[in-house]
Amino acid sequence: MRAKNTKTAETAVLSDWQKSRLTRQERMMRSMLAPASLDLVNRSPERARWFCLVVRDGSEIAVGKRLMEGGVDTLVPTETVERRTAKGVKYEVELAFFVGYVFARFIPSNDAFERLRKVKSVFDFLRFGERYHEVRDSDLGFYLGDIHRLPKDKTIGEKDKVQIIYGPFSGVKAVVLQVLKLKSRDPVCRVWSELYQREIKNVPLAFLQRL
């Protein structure tokens, strides 16, 4: 398993020639998502923040593409997983690292939040009321390092209370629902955030600290 970033920001700002080649659907998407666009971020980068969108499981990469087409600075962490066909032939697939979540950077406003919620397969933001979970730049890339080099508390188990101390969910307090791949080099967990009332899947055990 290899983790990496799939970042769509590089193509979120288009040249005049690229704009002339946009399809009608892409133009409509860019118009709808204008309040959350990278164009606005580039004008006032100090006001921009990363937020976490809650999306339908399995739609993360597709949502990232839609946001890219809408001109939004987007990050979809992914992992390459090896699988086998019924005949035993190996092949690789790219899957979202954090199932059910996509990250977007924009200048927060009521219009931006509302327009992003209208994107297909987006349910909401990770939030408690009007308190939105903000992600620091430094936390977005941390998981890309060698996770296996981080210390892990393998005594952490089901129902334990923990705090996520690394990665995009850093600072979130949670209860462990399940520990997966415990015998592997990089165990991961399903945890439940009591504040946000949502499950977070595939959190590396190395990111957790017992409370």
Half-sphere exposure of 210 (CA within 13 A, CB side): 10
CATH number at residue 198: 2.30.30.30
Count the domains in the chain: 2
Sign of CA dihedral 194, 123, 53, 49: negative
Domain that holds residue 78: 1-135
Considering the domain architecture, whether residues 31 and 82 belong to the same structural domain is answered as yes
Domain closes at, from 135, 167, 189: 135
pLDDT of residue 66: 93
Considering the domain architecture, whether residues 126 and 147 belong to the same structural domain is answered as no
CA 45 from centre of chain: 20
pLDDT of residue 156: 95
Considering the domain architecture, whether residues 11 and 107 belong to the same structural domain is answered as yes
Considering the domain architecture, whether residues 91 and 6 belong to the same structural domain is answered as yes
pLDDT of residue 28: 87
Considering the domain architecture, whether residues 118 and 159 belong to the same structural domain is answered as no
Considering the domain architecture, whether residues 131 and 180 belong to the same structural domain is answered as no
pLDDT of residue 10: 44
Question: Across the strands, what pairs with 78?
Answer: 4, 96
Secondary structure (DSSP) of 86-99? TT--EEEEEEESST
Model confidence pLDDT, tens digit, residues 190-202:
999 999 999 999 9
Domain closes at, from 135, 154, 174: 135
Domain closes at, from 115, 135, 155: 135
Global pTM value: 0.85
Q: What angle do CA 157, 180, 184 make, to 5 degrees?
A: 105
CATH number at residue 75: 3.30.70.940
Considering the domain architecture, whether residues 130 and 185 belong to the same structural domain is answered as no
Considering the domain architecture, whether residues 27 and 51 belong to the same structural domain is answered as yes
Q: What is the CA radius of gyration of the chain?
A: 18
Considering the domain architecture, whether residues 48 and 106 belong to the same structural domain is answered as yes
pLDDT of residue 42: 95
Considering the domain architecture, whether residues 104 and 169 belong to the same structural domain is answered as no
Tokens of 111: 């219009």
Q: What is the mean pLDDT of each run of 10 residues along the chain (211 residues)?
A: 45 57 78 95 96 96 93 89 83 87 97 97 95 90 67 93 94 96 85 95 93 96
